[in-house]
Chains A and B, each alone.
Chain A
């Protein structure tokens, strides 16, 4: 059982939760994730570790309330418990002093981009961050991102804050202005990561993405998260979650993410009904 120590609504449907998980906090590195199970009948879902505090023994997750499990998690309050948290899983993001790096985050993907940018900056890189939101209402962690980047660029889909458009529009601008870029990291929805990969492929800029496959075990024993990278089958949990964006078969990833769309709907509808009866 893992106690919730802090809960904060960062934006509509976007929640930050800090839990006491000293073993995970002690080992966590940027790029790693956890698998959680909210309660006894719950499913196991992967969530990125948005931040960690080794001294306090806490880890932070940021999630969007989408289906049953994330909505159920969103109803948990400070002082309550999450049944299971397993981690840190996956391989830490490879970081080094590359020169100029661009870190790109979309939606809740911005959360894990923050500790990554912080680390890249501390290693002596020039960090340009591009963060994208649906609209102004959804903006969170702008200040944190500013503090961990040398330059921060913001985009919203509707133009209500920062540049109008997608993170890829901002990235293309940057490239068109002849900005020298040594490496790009992109974390966000699969469709965003695919767009970044498609854009940077032509420019031959090394691009790393953190994949968000469906998962069950998180430790390499089930293969639910398998994905084709460079023509070979890889397990996101054991071989990733970071991969060379130019080698990832994103179409396959997106199709696999949709496998249980119908079941997810059934589960969510049932839950909403139960909650409304309860109230």
Chain B
């Protein structure tokens, strides 16, 4: 059989249809499509993909199982390294990780590892819906309590590993719903919320306990947790603080942080207002500021709410956009208008305090900066005014300071991240940290990798080996 250079495409909702609904965009592989794609894997002996994966999934192993149509074996292999494949199969930047190093990439498209991962995970979710749950093996109870702060990707993966090792694990979550950024941040059309809920059920069956409505740092402190006989703590609270540009008029009505906008829609279901009580404004002309995945999510969400026209304003060019190529393409296909090399410098409001215009300036690219991208420089006398009635600021987030501020002796680094040693232990004994609170804003999968690494360290620590 000859080498198939092109990967099997995944069917999608057409842009014209999907831009007005919240249903998932890619529709998943059929069995035939998955097997066809799995056959493209060369099962090469060097398997660079495994090293390209932040949690080191045995990728050739599970792909081989797909080829043999043994999906139970495939999911078991994935579960050894990753308990959330339905999520990572959808939101991981595979093109920068496992697929970036795939040998097939030298001759054609790399194997669509993410799509195959999703295929296996969705098969298992369907099974679970019918009540057929296969839980990973658990070690005998150790009768030791571990507290996890934050129920996002880092906290969840840390909790899962510790539960498998036999520890009593409780996850504390500030919101009324678990999942962290998976729940409040990533939109329904990229990650359906029933999947996150299904995963929560699975974790509960694994023995992980969840306590919502507890904001560690306010409701309880880390000191309180030790007094409650927890023997170790993992901090996975993420980088949830929205950044603003601090330009005039930024507090006008109808200017949102992406976090607020997405939280209203995803967590609070404002897109179903007034059935749900949380309101959201639908703009006629919306400006989203930023060029990352969150900016794409916000722009596409605004469109689905019914916005008339959505601009995406980004200060560099398309090439420098930090968003995934797939997300950028999806946004373009849906009709988001990119205003590149442009930056807002102030907002102008009407008499009631609602934003009505953005004054912007044109930019050009100068020398490379520390991030290796060319620095944007304002072009003199290029200011212009853009009529808009809603702005969503999506220029990044910074670490949440509540835990560091309320925990004595917890060392922090630049920009408020928590300092950790090579074992992810913080400056406070028995307290570990990982994910965005340590690295600054990154991806779901790197946070999950950190959660797993911390779980291994916590186990060592509790066995007296650290």
A-side residues, CB < 8 A to B, are 23-24, 27, 37, 41-44, 68-69, 83-89, 216-224, 226-228, 233, 238, 251-252, 255-256, 258-260, 263-264, 266-267, 270
Contacts and interface: CB of A to CB of B under 8 A. Distances in A.
Residue from the set A43, A221, A256 with the largest chain B CB neighbour count within 10 Å: A221
B464 to A, nearest CB: 31
B260 A233 contact: no
A125 to B, nearest CB: 27
19 contacts: A23-B220, A24-B219, A27-B218, A27-B219, A41-B277, A86-B219, A216-B263, A218-B215, A219-B218, A223-B242, A233-B244, A252-B251, A255-B352, A256-B253, A259-B254, A259-B281, A260-B281, A264-B279, A267-B274
Contacts of B241: 220-221
Of residues A42, A88, A223, A270, which shows the largest number of chain B Cβ atoms within 10 Å of its Cβ?
Answer: A223
Nearest to A90: B218
B80 to A, nearest CB: 33
Given A27-B218, A223-B259, A255 B353 contact: yes
Contacts of A259: 253-254, 281
A88 B219 contact: yes
Given A216-B263, A259-B254, A86 B268 contact: no
Interface of B is mostly: loop
Nearest to A249: B251
Given A220-B241, A220-B402, A267-B277, 9 more contacts: A43-B276, A43-B277, A84-B212, A89-B215, A89-B218, A216-B264, A221-B240, A222-B259, A224-B260
B251 A226 contact: yes
Interface in B239-285: 240-242, 244, 246, 250-251, 253-254, 256-257, 259-260, 263-264, 268-269, 273-279, 281
A255 B278 contact: no
B400 interface: yes
Nearest to A269: B274
B214 interface: yes
Nearest to A235: B241
List 3 A-B pairs, minimum CB-CB distance, nearest first: A255-B353, A263-B279, A221-B240
B268 A44 contact: yes
Contact of A41 (B213, B257, B269, B279): B269
A169 B44 CA distance: 84
A227 B251 contact: yes
B174 A219 contact: yes
Contact of B240 (A83, A89, A220, A266): A220
B175 interface: yes
Interface string B180-223: 00000000000000000000000000000000111100111000
Contacts of A238: 401-402
B86 to A, nearest CB: 24
A219 to B, nearest CB: 5
B356 to A, nearest CB: 13
Contacts of A83: 176
Contact of A84 (B213, B253, B259): B213
Contacts of B251: 226-228, 233, 252, 256
Contact residue range for chain B?
Answer: 35 or more
A118 to B, nearest CB: 22
Nearest to B243: A223
B400 A220 contact: yes
A23 B219 contact: yes
A31 to B, nearest CB: 13
Nearest to B257: A223
A25 to B, nearest CB: 11
Given A89-B215, A256-B251, A217 B353 contact: no
B239 to A, nearest CB: 10
Contacts of A220: 240-241, 400-402
A150 B74 CA distance: 75
B274 A266 contact: yes
B403 to A, nearest CB: 11
A27 to B, nearest CB: 7
Contacts of A86: 174, 176, 213-215, 219
Contacts of A37: 176
A258 B254 CA distance: 11
A212 B281 CA distance: 21
B16 to A, nearest CB: 29
A222 B219 contact: no
Contacts of B246: 233
B156 to A, nearest CB: 18
Nearest to A38: B277
Nearest to A1: B213
Contacts of A252: 251, 353
A263 B219 contact: no
Nearest to A72: B277
A221 B218 contact: no
A268 to B, nearest CB: 9
A86 to B, nearest CB: 5
Nearest to A41: B276
A238 B404 CA distance: 13
A259 B261 CA distance: 14
Most B CB within 10 A of own CB, among A87, A217, A222 = A222
Contact of A23 (B214, B264, B401): B214
A229 to B, nearest CB: 11
A228 B244 CA distance: 13
A218 B253 CA distance: 19
A218 B214 CA distance: 12
Contacts of B256: 223-224
B402 A270 contact: no
B299 to A, nearest CB: 18
A117 to B, nearest CB: 24
Nearest to B244: A233
A263 B253 CA distance: 14
Given A88-B218, A221-B242, A233-B250, A68 B277 contact: yes
Contacts of B353: 251-252, 255-256, 258
A214 to B, nearest CB: 10
A217 B263 contact: yes
B259 A221 contact: yes
B306 to A, nearest CB: 14
A260 B353 CA distance: 12
Nearest to B277: A43
A255 B268 CA distance: 23
B147 to A, nearest CB: 14
A223 B400 CA distance: 12
A42 B277 CA distance: 5
